[in-house]
Structure 1
Amino acid sequence: MKICAVEIKNHEAIVVLASMEQGMMAIHDCRVTAISIPVTHTSEDLEIFQTKFAKLMEDYQVENVVIGERISKGKLAAPGLSFKLEAAIQLITALNVNVLSFEDRKASLKRNPLKMKAKDVGLKPFQEDTFTTAFAFLNMK
């Protein structure tokens, strides 16, 4: 099963395509590392973001998306725009979208510790959290 892990930071969705093959996590090449939206966005910008994301998933034949949970309250709360981006992804009817909670991520990583970093598999440093989300989700099953 190929998944697209997503970490939403500020005004962009950082993506990593991954799958579990014979008990090993495989990272798949992707033409983009993130899809962004202008900070001063309009409803048209959200529609464009949603269309770009849906097209990317269609092109890479991804049906399952996992989004890393963000903090919604307190000093470290994620900006409101990030929740709009999450909703735009969740409303793509062709996708099965899951939100990976902090607790589930932590439990999965405790059972199956991650022994490498994103850069070890050719990803960019800013994709580290997304890579960890993918690993945790794929090892939950």
Structure 2
Amino acid sequence: MTICGIEIKGSEAIFALVTPHLEHVAVATKKLALDDDEDAASVKAFAANLAAFVKAQGITRMVIKKRSKKGEFAGGPTTFKIEGILQLLDDCDVQLLSPQTLNAQFKKHAFELPATLNKYQHEAFKVACAALLKG
């Protein structure tokens, strides 16, 4: 079973697929962008592309790096819309993982970041690994 770690930044959902043995699974789609969150057609297209990606990769579990709802590092409204779309996916277990849990698991297990990852995928990979190690 492959798990998909996700970091939501701005208007993009960034993916990293990881096996239970903490190995990165390289796929062509590394991120999807929501072009215009105020346009219903764009939101529906993003949701359709996301559902197609999840189905094509056989993903049944996703873990999203949680964003703050208020304060200096609060996530923007588009990030929460993307999160909602992710949570509505059929046949996919979606959970949120706090940055504190993520950092604690990374510090405790010190797993390495594979060279097959792009730099912008590092947080998504860490999220997936932390979720697998946490259980």
TM over 0.5: yes
> How far apart, in 2, do the equivalents of 1:39 and 1:50 lie?
12
TM-score, scaled to structure 1: 0.88
% identity of equivalent residues: 25
For residue 45 of structure 2, what is the aligned residue in structure 1? 48
Please, which moves more after superposition, 96-105 or 47-56?
Answer: 96-105
Specify which of 102, 110, 115 is matched with residue 121 of structure 1.
115
Listed as ranges, the gaps of 5+ residues in structure 2 are none
What letter corresponds to residue 105 of structure 2 in structure 1?
Answer: S
Q: Higher strand proportion, which one? A: 1
- Structure scoring higher RCO (CA < 8 A, sep ≥ 6) equals 2
For residue 106 of structure 1, what is the aligned residue in structure 2? 103
1:133 aligns with 2:127: yes
**Size of the alignment, in residue pairs?**
135
Question: CA offset at residue 107 of structure 1?
Answer: 3.3
What letter corresponds to residue 108 of structure 1 in structure 2?
Answer: Q
Question: CA offset at residue 77 of structure 1?
Answer: 1.0
1:59 aligns with 2:93: no
> How far apart, in 2, do the equivalents of 1:39 and 1:74 lie?
25
Using a 3 Å threshold, how does the CA distance of structure 1 residues 45 and 108 change in structure 2: closer, same or farther?
same
The within-5 A match list for 1:88-103 is 88-103=85-100
Listed as ranges, the gaps of 5+ residues in structure 1 are none
> How far apart, in 2, do the equivalents of 1:40 and 1:97 lie?
21
The within-5 A match list for 1:16-35 is 16-21=16-21, 25-35=22-32
Question: CA offset at residue 38 of structure 1?
Answer: 1.4
> How far apart, in 2, do the equivalents of 1:75 and 1:83 lie?
16
What letter corresponds to residue 127 of structure 1 in structure 2?
Answer: Q
Runs of 4+ in 1 over 3 A off after TM superposition: none
Q: Deviations over 1:100-120 (max 9, x none)?
A: 122332332243123x23xx3
Using a 3 Å threshold, how does the CA distance of structure 1 residues 140 and 48 change in structure 2: closer, same or farther?
same
Contact 1:5 1:66 in 2 (8 A): yes
